[in-house]
Amino acid sequence: MQDYLDQLNEAQRSAVTTIDGPTLVVAGAGSGKTRVLTYRIAYLLQQGVPPWRVLALTFTNKAAREMKERIAALTGKEVASRLWMGTFHSVFARILRVEAEHLKFPSSFTIYDTADSKSLIKSILKELQITDKEYKPGLILSRISAAKNDLVLPAAYARDTHRLAADRAAKVPMVYEIYLRYLRACLQAGAMDFDDLLLNTNLLFRDHPEVLAKYQAQFQYLLVDEYQDTNFSQYLIVRKLAEQHKNVCVVGDDAQSIYSFRGAKIENILNFRNDYPGYHLFKLEQNYRSTRNIVNAANSIIANNKGQIPKVVFSDKEEGEKLKVLQAYSDVEEGYMVVKELQNRRLNATCAYADFAILYRTNAQSRIFEEALRKNNVPYRMYGGLSFYQRKEIKDLLAYLRMVINPRDGEALKRIINYPARGIGKTTMDRLEKAAADNQLSLWEVLTHPELGRVGFNAGTLKKLGAFVQLIKSFERLLPVMNAYELTTEVVAQSGILKDLHMDKSTEGQTRVENLDELLNGVREFTEERIESGADNKLVNFLEEVALLTDMDQGDTEDSDRVTLMTIHSAKGLEFPYVFIAGVEEGLFPSPMSGNSEQGLEEERRLFYVAVTRAEKQVTLSYARSRFKYGEHNFVTPSRFLKDIDPAYLDGVETAVGGRPAVASGARFKRSFEGGNRSAAAKRSFSFQEESPVRKPAFSAETFGGTGGDISVGSRVAHERFGQGEVLSLEGQAPNLKAMIAFDNAGTKQLLLKFAKLRLLS
């Protein structure tokens, strides 16, 4: 253990060994935050603190898992597995299962995902006879979510003039009413959504002091990762739990607060000193990740924000390359330029595909890169798309399992009552839902009610409904005698899911069957692992794990060499040798949705800071001059954030043609974005050199890319790699003009003019 302390710098070591009293660790990007957290926990254990008295909270499963592994390496698996370590959501879900009865929830409560929540809101809207045109379920859910994260219950909501006024302004004055019914329906269904896990923990602690006292006493030491991302609900849980021992250590970086849209309060970290007087403060300012150029560029970006915790992040590493900027005509070309640049780097630096990440602001941008990567046979792994557990066939099966565990789960019921098709249609469901709402019952209670016939179903429908009820009950009976894997297998067979999928002979149908197999394997592995570690291995635990999983949490097992594709948000906490930040454009980054408020803009800027600081060796920024949006292409301008970077750390802009910076220096580059008449440039279609008419680049886009220009059949041209050759033929339309070229020494090739770095010789 002593050896490990020697590996730390002074600030890190103090942060690890100062274990008593409140502690704030301000950890700049790449400053060894995770290392401090893991060593601190290992140190606690070494000082004789029992593992079950340590509570460590993270935001992602991945962070929790990694820390657990690293601690296990220091202290042994046995001890590490007894720590209370996990995401806020998973840890408190675990506690809520134990204490559920205090809150009138079954301990087998379901966790609703966002789709379930939206679907429930739709049902409520129907009940209130409001269309989901006027009341967008997503918007309503986000307002309810915001209220919950601020611990504003319906009663307080009704008195909250701010919220009410905001709802009226947004033309959704009924949010309060919906919120009320939503909570009631969740209780009815024995279900909690993500926010409820935290809200109900707060209610538990508020209304049951003896329960709170129990956990206060147990958790002698608390640690919180990414404290700048906590919302009020999480903040209060931590504060309450820490009240007795006051040994709370929070780690975070105000400069990396990027989750205010889901209720995170940057104030939590800024106000730590007020909440915990006499706190210890440690600042980790040395960045061990990135080159000096990267750190300096990042610092110059974040310097544009106000109201930060003062700190100076520095790097001792080599100066490294400057940040590079790629300019493309279009979004599609941006994809190709990035991939080409990536491939060049990989060959020149002899590094692996896995050393690269392409980061973007919105998930919608991923498609372009996927296509470019696929066409160039570059292996990649994309995060943030549909996760495995969100596929239809998986959700269907999970819904069956959910109903077995908790038959009151209304969203699961709605999903499977007619899947596979058993002739229970919309009319029947409407009546059922109405009966449930009128009688304050769950759908299942209506279905199993002796007076079901009174609702007005005909004999045929009653028979179908009865068969469904019997099916679910037959599964319920298996619950005590089968393990999770056996039961799941049984459900797949008896529900008719397998038969339904086997009827579909298409490739998609086959994939679905394979996916079900994979889920079955997942259940088996889960059960085996849990039995081995002595943890809960019931079906309910599996469902919980799955509900709180994101797609960041899978597929890590295959150690294949792939480029990473993800949003900047999901890249937080990760690092890559080479990072591409794509779509650095107005209208995209900063996001127009963040409003033009100073606050919104500062958060976007922090996001930019996060993106740049992911890189170890080099950062390439890219933007396009035109981009498809809603199916039509628009001309766009480079992001204002490019001007936030000190030009001293920035290379010139590189365009597709010429292979040389079109604008020579960072300073010139910076100037070229200020002001300027864009419409002229727009009219010239693919011309991107709107300024500096005096000095034309050696090989302009117009020559080769835009129109095909001077190149014609018979021209002599030179290519960077293939040498000299003669143009045999031209085909296609600009800007996708292709040329067949017979090279003197490299054979005949077909090249896309806008990508080939051709030079005209004759």
Partner DNA sequence: CGGACGATCCTTTTT
Partner DNA sequence: GGATCGTCCG
Residues at the site binding DNA, with contacts judged by CB under 7 A = 59-61, 87-90, 114, 132-133, 136, 138, 194-195, 258, 261-262, 361-364, 367, 384, 418, 421-428, 461, 548, 550, 552, 566-567, 569-570, 591, 593-594, 628-631
For residue 307, the minimal CB distance to DNA (Å) is 20
Burial environment of residue 287 by CB neighbours within 10 A (0 to 12, 13 to 18, 19 or more): buried
Decide: residue 448, CB within 10 A, 0-12 exposed, 13-18 middle, 19+ buried: middle
Q: How far is the CB of 386 from DNA (least distance, A)?
A: 9
Please state the closest distance from residue 609 (CB atom) to DNA, in A: 14
DSSP, residue by residue, 85-153:
EEEHHHHHHHHHHHHGGGGT--TT-EEE-HHHHHHHHHHHHHHTT--TTTS-HHHHHHHHHHHHHTT--
Greatest alpha-carbon pair distance for the chain in Å reads 92
Distance of CA 348 to the CA centre of its chain: 32
Q: What is the DSSP letter of 54?
A: E
The count of other CB atoms within 10 Å of the CB of residue 518 is 12
263 with 146: CB under 8 angstroms?
A: yes
Distances (CA, A) of 469 to 384, 407, 444: 36, 10, 8
**How far is it, in rounded angstroms, from Cα 347 to Cα 342?**
9
**Catalytic one of 317, 614, 627, 640:** 614
Of 116, 167, 196, 225, the active-site residue reads 225
Q: Is 343 among the catalytic positions?
A: no
Choosing from 226, 409, 411, 553, the catalytic residue is: 226
- 2 or 506: whose CB is closer to DNA? 506
Task: Kindly state the tokens that stand for 264.
Answer: 């995170």
Q: CB of 632: closest distance to DNA in angstroms?
A: 7
614 among known catalytic residues: yes
Minimum CB distance to DNA smaller for 386 or for 728: 386
* Catalytic residue check, 308: no
Distance CA 689, CA 703 (A): 13
Cβ of residue 261: shortest distance to DNA, in angstroms? 3
- C-beta of 49: minimal distance to DNA in Å? 26
Q: Which is nearer to DNA, 86 or 320 (CB)?
A: 86
| 226 tagged catalytic | yes
168 is catalytic: no
Q: Rank residues 400 and 743 by Cβ distance to DNA and give the closer one.
A: 400
Catalytic residue among 17, 34, 362, 724: 34
To the query of whether residue 512 is one of the catalytic residues in this protein, the response is no
8 Å CB contact between 30 and 288 = yes
Measured from the CB atom, the residue of 360 and 485 that comes closer to DNA is: 360
Nearer to DNA, 194 or 336 (CB): 194
The residue from 228, 230, 256, 365 that is catalytic is: 256
Of the pair 244, 363, the CB lying nearest DNA is at 363
Active-site residue (options: 12, 13, 33, 334): 33
Nearer residue to DNA within complex by CB, 584 or 662: 584
φ, ψ of residue 248 to 5 degrees: the values are: -120, 130
- The CB-of-607 to DNA minimum distance in angstroms stands at 7
CB of 584 to DNA, least distance (A): 14
| β-strands 747-752, 758-760 pairing | unpaired
Q: How many angstroms separate the CA atoms of 529 and 524, rounded? A: 9
List, in order, residues 6 or more apart from 319 with CB less than 8 Å away: 291, 292, 293
Give burial (CB, 10 Å; 0-12/13-18/19+) of 183.
Answer: middle
| Helices and strands (H, E) in the chain, number of each type | 33, 23
Answer whether 457's CB lies under 8 Å from 425's CB.
no
Catalytic residue set: 33-34, 225-226, 256, 614
